[in-house]
Amino acid sequence: MLTLVLGGAASGKSGYAESLVLKTALPRYYIATMQVWDAECAARVEKHRKMRAAKQFETVECPLHLENIRLPARGTVLLEDLGNLTANELYDPAGTGENAASAILEGLDQLAGQCAHLIVVSNEVFSGGADYAGDTGRYLKALAQVNNALAARADHVVRVVCGIPVYYKGVEK
């Protein structure tokens, strides 16, 4: 089962995705894609790790190369989020660069094969317009490629607006 949860900044998409996972049996894995650049990032990661542990998530830090993840047992996976992962793959020297979209999709396929349910959180793109140049355009295009391909494969596609889930594919569980 694959669910794509989309939304804008502070839309409630992450909270909604977590609520879906909390309805499932253990084990629960949280794939965190944020890169740690400084002490502030490290503190944020530690705070989130503690919050997730209280919800019985096992956190897997993976800012690059999803294809390297090996889960110890089948369960439910929450990947947070494709926006970070795409930027990391595009711009980190150790990332996949111009091949970011295809590498991420291959990694998602491998991850989906290791779990009973994969819930992926991503950002809406192009709601503010479509004419972007340079690195911004490159990033938005890559993320849109991943979102579109993932939506086509997904059993459920839901957009969260002001905390309200709106299903575009599948039905709310």
How confident is the model over 17-27, as pLDDT tens digits? Answer: 999 999 999 99
Q: How far apart are CA 144 and CA 129, in angstroms?
A: 13
**Does 61 count as an annotated binding residue?**
yes
Query: Residue 173 falls within a domain, yes or no?
Result: no
Residue 37 has pLDDT above 90, yes or no: no
* DSSP-derived 3-state class of residue 53: helix
Among the listed residues 172, 130, 125, the one whose alpha carbon sits nearest the alpha carbon of residue 23: 172
**Does 106 count as an annotated binding residue?**
no
**Does 23 count as an annotated binding residue?**
no
Banded model confidence at residue 129, pLDDT cuts 50, 70, 90: low
Q: How far apart are CA 166 and CA 159, in angstroms?
A: 5
Residues in Cβ contact with 135 at an 8 Å cutoff, skipping those fewer than 6 apart: 91
| pLDDT reported for residue 42 | 87
> If you ran DSSP here, which 8-state letter would residue 7 be given?
E
What share of the chain in percent tops pLDDT 90? 77
Kindly name the residue from 48, 65, 117, 156 that is annotated as catalytic: 48
> If you ran DSSP here, which 8-state letter would residue 158 be given?
E
The single-letter code of the amino acid at 86 is T
Instruction: Provide the whole-model pTM.
Output: 0.93
**Does 70 count as an annotated binding residue?**
no
Please name the residue that has the structure tokens 């993932």: 150
**Does 12 count as an annotated binding residue?**
yes
Query: Residue 162 falls within a domain, yes or no?
Result: yes
Among the listed residues 65, 57, 162, 164, the one whose alpha carbon sits nearest the alpha carbon of residue 119: 57
Query: Residue 147 falls within a domain, yes or no?
Result: yes
Q: Is 117 a catalytic residue?
A: no
Number of domains in the chain: 1
Higher pLDDT, 131 or 154: 154
Full domain range(s) for residue 33: 2-168
Least confident of 51-55, 136-140, 149-153: 51-55
CATH assignment at residue 148: 3.40.50.300
C-alpha angle 144-153-26 in degrees, rounded to nearest 5: 105
